[in-house]
Structure 1
Amino acid sequence: MVRPDVVVAGRICIDLYPIRSGLALEDVPSFSKSIGGSATNVAVAATRQGLDTLLLTRTGDDPFGRYAVQELARFGVRTGTIRPVPGMQSVLTFCEMFPPDDFPLYIYRNPTAPDMYLDLDDVPLAEVAASRVFWATATGLSREPSRAAHFAAWRARGRAAHTVLDLDHRPTFWDSAEDAAAAVGPALDLVTIAIGNADECEIAVGERDPDRAADALLERGIELAIVKRGPKGVLAKTADERIEVPPIPVEVVNGLGAGDAFGGALCRGLLEGWPLARTMRFANAAGAIVATRFECSTAMPTGDEVDAFLARRSMDETGGSGG
């Protein structure tokens, strides 16, 4: 067994994004095609950061499913466990682009998605347990057998360091917010890092205020709580540190992949053992870069790109050349 740096479990889809922004979907003349889904984007983002990454998911039994696996392989993501669900179609996701902050999504899951059929046969528990980071999203808990597979993976790790739960919440995937809260609650007892925005934190721990939400997560045994604050930046808390990272002003093209870029870069910082402040700045910058780009998976930056972006910002802020 080769020990992966990162194992990611969760959604995969085909993103069909308009080639022109500012148009309602019915007026869009044509679309670009790329792979997407939060977990898939995080896997690509981590790989672009130089990390050996394995994605656990399932695809449709169709040409789009074959395309998804081919694209993952092209990016360097490990795909050896991915198999199609017989008779199911791949998920298609359309969006509208109204920069800087309005990007409606239309996700075609009829009535559910192949990734919800992830089961124990698709989860190499030894690799999950041995991986340096295990990343999963709360949406993976919205249906069986995916929910059971996720809990089996977490139990195999025994709440090891760098066990991440992205609180990612899509209301249409759940029967109700109460159902989501009932599933996410037990998951918090098995992970060490939790990430979410105000809405997602409210579902997980009943708190919207960033500091109170982070504190409530820490009280559940979480070692690192990260609260995304949108235009106000990011708050990260541990038992000993409180780090606020302000937003980075950029000209937004598409804000949909920024959080996933943040996730892949966070994995890099965790595994490099960087101080929390440096990790948050690096991850925040990765998200800002993707917000200036058109697609999601194809937009994920390398570590060198993030470093260069931060260096340019530092020069701009000091008004000097650094020489």
Structure 2
Amino acid sequence: MTVHDLVAMGRVGVDLYPLQHGVTLDEVRTFEKFLGGTAADVTVAAVRHGRRAALVSATADDAFGRFVHRELLQLGVDDAYVQTITDGPPTPVTFCEMFPPDRFPRWFYRYPTAPDLLITPESLPLQAIREAKAYWSSLTGLSREPSRAAHLAALEERGRRPLTVLDLDYQETFWRDRGRSSDDPRDRARVQAAEALRRATVAVGNLDECELVTGESDPRRAARALLGAGVDLAVVTLGARGVVALTADEEVGVDGFPVTVVNGLGAGDAFGGALVHALLAGWDLERTLHFATVAGALVAGRLECSTAMPTTAEVQALLSDVEVADGAL
């Protein structure tokens, strides 16, 4: 069996992104279709850096499900663990509006649920998850059963192996429970995050997500709280302001990379795939963060997410330009 550099588990679907920007969704005339979903995007990002990556997820037996499988393969991702669920909800579609540089509201059509939230513990490729050099899952997968049990089973199988990454990706719509309207979805997400962080070795999230999980609004305090929750490396992204990362022995912060933003939605996934690549390569933390930050900036300057993921050469070229400019100063 192939040992993958990265196995990621979680969301997959279709992004329908508007070709008219600066207008609301009802005014958009045309859209373009792309592979979407955080876990899928992260695997594509890792492949662009020469890594072998597989996705654990599910689609419906429908046209969009066939599109997902075809795109994964064309982009170099192993789809052997992407199940096809025949008697369930359709493959999800996501729309967004684009108001650069910082407003990109999304509408997730995942009702009443999505195939990727129907993954069961019994259906997991446990050997592939256990033996992968890096494993990636997100908070979204813990939002409801049976996906929650499957994600926790996968983390148990990893046994806190190095590079067991929890993406703190929080989308409130996935946590709303119409049958428990009095419950705060943020409270439920916080409880599940605490459970998963005890099993992960790396946590990654933007400042809002880290504050949700830790209660800390300062990035360094939030990172320290994540270390206290059980991980060995805590990474707090700050958008255009850069990123902060802490281990027990090291604290590193790097500035953001300037870019003309087209669509900010894929930057975090590009950052994630680049982060995995750099950590697998054994780079020091400062080099790792610079590399991942530039990868994220490149995607923020492009329309789509999955197919916009940069290659290592593209990232290194920009890093070299910065080094030359700094040297000239």
Q: TM-score range by the shorter chain?
A: over 0.9
Identical aligned residues as a percent: 50
Q: Which residue matches 1:214?
A: 223
Q: Which residue matches 2:276?
A: 267
CA contact (8 A) 1:197 1:229 kept: yes
Distance 1:171 1:259 in 2: 17
Of the structure 1 ranges 305-314 and 127-136, higher mean CA displacement relative to structure 2 is found in 305-314
Distance 2:77 2:212 in 1: 31
Which whole-Å deviations, capped at 9, do the CAs of 1:181-231 have from their partners, x for residues lacking one?
Answer: 111111010000001122211222222211111111111221100011123
Which whole-Å deviations, capped at 9, do the CAs of 1:82-135 have from their partners, x for residues lacking one?
Answer: 122223211111111111111111111111111001112432111111110000
Distance 1:221 1:96 in 2: 37
SS in 2 for 1:93: strand
Please report the TM-score for the alignment, with normalisation by the length of structure 2. Answer: 0.95
AA matched with 2:126: L
Distance 1:66 1:120 in 2: 24
Q: Which residue matches 1:297?
A: 306
CA RMSD of aligned residues (A): 1.2
AA matched with 1:26: D
Match of 2:318 among 306, 309, 312: 309
Q: Which residue matches 2:85?
A: 85
Match of 1:255 among 248, 264, 267: 264
Distance 1:122 1:209 in 2: 40
SS in 1 for 2:101: coil
CA contact (8 A) 2:240 2:258 kept: no
AA matched with 1:298: T
Q: Which residue matches 2:24?
A: 24
Distance 1:73 1:40 in 2: 11
CA contact (8 A) 2:194 2:229 kept: no
Moved over 6 A (4+): none
Distance 2:112 2:50 in 1: 36
Q: Which residue matches 1:55?
A: 55
Distance 2:28 2:304 in 1: 16
Distance 2:45 2:122 in 1: 26
List gaps (5 residues or longer) in structure 2: 177-184
Q: Which residue matches 2:3?
A: 3
Distance 1:52 1:89 in 2: 28
Match of 1:195 among 204, 210, 229: 204
Distance 2:312 2:240 in 1: 24
**What is the correspondence of 1:65-84 to structure 2 with a 5 Å cutoff?**
65-84=65-84
Distance 1:267 1:34 in 2: 23
Which whole-Å deviations, capped at 9, do the CAs of 1:222-262 have from their partners, x for residues lacking one?
Answer: 11000111232100001111111111111111111000000
Q: Which residue matches 1:155?
A: 156
Please report the TM-score for the alignment, with normalisation by the length of structure 1. Answer: 0.97
Distance 1:169 1:207 in 2: 16
CA contact (8 A) 2:156 2:199 kept: yes
AA matched with 2:263: N
SS in 2 for 1:274: coil
Q: Which residue matches 1:103?
A: 104
